[in-house]
Structures are given as structure tokens and as C-alpha cells.
Amino acid sequence: MRARGQALVELAMTLPVLLLLALGVVAVGRLVYAHVALTAVVREATRAVATSATPQDTSQGVARGREVAQGYGLDLGRLSLTVYGDSGFPARGSVVRARVSYQLSLRDLAFAPYLPLPGTVTVTREASQVVEQFRSR
């Protein structure tokens, strides 16, 4: 009977640590997922402008980036995407750049909406690509 009680005490002492470790692993996984998703968003946004027949129209890149973000299940209300050229609007042969920021709630990280975790983590990614010079109109 004494051994049963000892096992219960040991379980009560180690279970919170194991749960905290499991939530930490889940949180890091969600953070990595957001990082990968935002990398895809900026890559697709720059690619859309770089291969466009009218690279001056950066709205195509923003639209494509938002479409990719939706595909990854990101909340567009927390997403900030900017596509720009080195000297204003991108021209053929110049470089187009994109920058995205995403506010990730700490409650979303650990799948623990019942825990009072205030605040957010901002994940930011940037990408650049050369606008294709010999693109037909």
C-alpha cells in the first residue's frame, strides 16, 4: 500500500513539469509553422511581382501573398504585408522586396485559451527577388 502512495506522489510532482514541457514543444512548433508560412508568403509576393507583365503594380504581389497566407490558415487581420521596389516602384531588372509581419497571440502558441497569457509575439520575414528583365507584355 505504501508503494502505491509513493507512486502517486511522484506522479503528482512530475506531471506538471511534463505538461509544461509538452506545451513548450507545441508552442515552439507553432512558432516554427508561422515562420515557414510567412517565408512562403513573402516568397510568393515577390515572385508575383517579379514575373508580372506590369511589375510597377505591386498590388498583385500583395494579393498573392494574402492568398498564400489564407492557405496557411493565418488570420489576415493580424498580417501586415508590404511589397516595394528599391527606388519606389519596381522596374524591369531591378529588385522587388517584400516584408511581412504577423502578430501571433501567446494563447495561440500553446493551444491553451484557458491560461491567462497576455501579449503577442511578432514574427517578421523579408524576401527579395530580381524583376525579370525580358518579360513580354
Cβ atoms of 43 and 72 closer than 8 Å: no
Determine what percent of the chain is predicted with pLDDT higher than 90: 43
For 64, other C-beta atoms within 10 Å of its C-beta total 21
pLDDT of 42-59, one tens digit each? 999 999 988 887 777 788
What's residue 110's pLDDT?
63
| Look-up of cell digits 509581419 | 101
Rounded-to-integer distance, Cα 27 and Cα 111, Å: 8
Q: Mean of the pLDDT values across residues 14-21? A: 90
What's residue 97's pLDDT?
92
For residue 112, give the 3-state DSSP assignment: coil
What nine digits make up the cell of 60?
Answer: 498583385
Residues in the chain, overall count: 137
Q: Mean of the pLDDT values across residues 119-130? A: 89
Q: Which residues pair with 100 in a beta bridge?
A: 81, 125
Phi, psi (rounded to 5 degrees) for 80: -125, 115
Cβ atoms of 62 and 83 closer than 8 Å: yes
What's residue 131's pLDDT?
84
